Amino acid sequence: MQLITWLEKNNYTNIVILDNNSTYPKLLDYYRTTKHKVIFLKKNVGYKALWKTDVFEQFKRGFYVYTDPDLVPNENCPPDLVFKLFKLLEKYGSIEKCGPALAIDNLPNNYNNKNDVIKWEKKHWENKVEKDLYDAPIDTTFALYRPFAMGEAEICKGYRLAGEYTFLHLPWYLNSNSLPEEEVYYKNNINKDQSHWVK
């Protein structure tokens, strides 16, 4: 919910939550109080839920953002994030989506998968298009999509925007030896096939 807090703080109002049949009590409590629209799915269909259900019909005709919930902009991220992504989609007609790069230069040593994450992610910082912009695939982390564009990295080409727009992938900043209650619940209930870093 840190991402929603950031969006609210920076005056983003068209926020829709797509719930994948969650059971975590505190999250369900949040839904009862949020002012944002929540779409409840009757079963967990995985991280591609928007595109695997008829919910996509509501959004496909315009530009839209789709994101996993466990991300947050860095503390210096400008509020014009989505407009910046839009301008890059205007500039580069060969891509279908554009989203923030994921920081890997500040991961804590007490995160057990630190070295694996850096080894996997560093290739996404190699193919520079221009200053702070990289030709790198985006799966379902935060990204702005063109109308009718859909799909994960393999079928929908994207660029990653770095610099002051870089995001943090929150699970990479957890102390693996002292996980918060929410993360313990998630790990005990997740379908491991749906998460690359949860083992």
* pLDDT tops 50 at residue 185: yes
- Give me the amino acid identity at 165: Y
Q: Where are the beta strands (DSSP E) in the chain?
A: 16-19, 37-40, 64-66, 71-73, 97-100, 128-130, 133-135, 143-145, 158-161, 167-169
Q: Which domains does the chain have, with CATH numbers?
A: 2-189 (3.90.550)
Look up the pTM and report it. 0.92
How far apart are the C-alpha atoms of 136 and 125, rounded to whole Å? 8
Per-residue pLDDT tens for 111-131? Answer: 999 999 999 999 999 999 999
Residue 65 reports pLDDT greater than 80: yes
Average pLDDT over the chain, rounded to an integer: 94
pLDDT digits (tens, 9 = 90+) for 148-157: 999 988 899 9
> What gap in Å lies between CA 184 and CA 186, rounded to an integer?
5
